Amino acid sequence: MQLKVTSWNINSVRLRIDLVAKFIKATRPDVLCLQEIKCPDDAFPLKRFRRLGYEHIAINGQKGYHGVAVISRLPFDTTTKKGYCGKTDSRHVGVTLGEKAGLRDPLTVHNYYVPAGGDEPDPVVNPKFAHKLSFLDELRECPHMLPKANERSIVVGDLNVAPLECDVWNHKALLKIVSHTPIECEKLLAAQKAGNWIDAARTIVREPEKLFTWWSYRSPDWATADKGRRLDHIWVTQALGDRLAGLKVAKAARGWDRPSDHVPVTATLDV
């Protein structure tokens, strides 16, 4: 059985529901993980997704900001939500696919929206950056980020860090820019290493080839300039490492009408 899992920071699911529908019809992921849905649970466009064939939905939303959701063609066995840094700011939702989804061995998907961190990369003067660093520290120590041997788990989301030199258009130019500062990169890579996670994108698209998932709204001609960053990630446990069948970054979505500044990232696994 093949499983297609997509991660996409949609930057308001209600504003861009038509773009989501367009993507779904073209790609048909089994599981779609959205970040920055920017709506409370009771305002989420459930009916539209169900008409598209996605009956199973786990939401952790709030009014106006943040929020994550997992939309699936396959039923969940369980769902979870976790808060970080003593806040209830809707940055995580997890689901487990098991017998109900036709899987002999269960598989868990954790969907994250890591704090962006503001503009000033100094935790002393910028509380948003301090929050981001604390979040990354907690992520590294979180029990479900430290999977047991043979555990089948996937972590996806807008992790808001481009950790490698080839994850940004210009490494030296961005060393003091939030999302690529050395301290952020170190903390995200420490979380990855602590759980022995496999970076799906860099398994398929090897270093030093550049790979981006985000292009700023501030760039008037984003495609020509191509000043992107890889902020959106899919990690898999060692038990799924040899099950990766492909990965696709839907760069064309950045050029759609009124797009998100992030594009969908889809991993295909043999499960």
Average pLDDT, the chain: 98
Kindly report, residue by residue over 33-84, the tens digit of the pLDDT: 999 999 999 999 999 999 999 999 999 999 999 999 999 999 999 999 999 9
DSSP assignment of the chain = -EEEEEEEE-S-TTTTHHHHHHHHHHH--SEEEEE---S-GGGS-HHHHHHTT--EEEEE--SSS--EEEEESS--SEEE----TT-----EEEEEE-GGGT-SS-EEEEEEE-----S---TTT-HHHHHHHHHHHHHHH-GGGSPPTT--EEEEEE-----SGGGBS-TGGGTTSTTSSHHHHHHHHHHHHHTT-EEHHHHHS-TTS---SEE-TT-TTHHHH--EE--EEEEE-GGGGGGEEEEEE-GGGGGSSS--SB--EEEEEE-
Q: How many domains does the chain have?
A: 1
Q: Can you give the pLDDT at residue 117? A: 98
Q: Can you give the pLDDT at residue 219? A: 87
Q: Can you give the pLDDT at residue 187? A: 98
Kindly report, residue by residue over 119-148, the tens digit of the pLDDT: 999 999 999 999 999 999 999 999 999 999
Which range of residues forms the domain containing residue 105? 2-270
Report the predicted TM-score, pTM, of the whole model to 2 decimal places: 0.98
Q: Can you give the pLDDT at residue 260? A: 98
Q: Can you give the pLDDT at residue 177? A: 98
Task: Taking residues 5-34, report their average pLDDT.
Answer: 98
Kindly report, residue by residue over 101-120, the tens digit of the pLDDT: 999 999 999 999 999 999 99
Q: Output the domain CATH number for residue 187.
A: 3.60.10.10
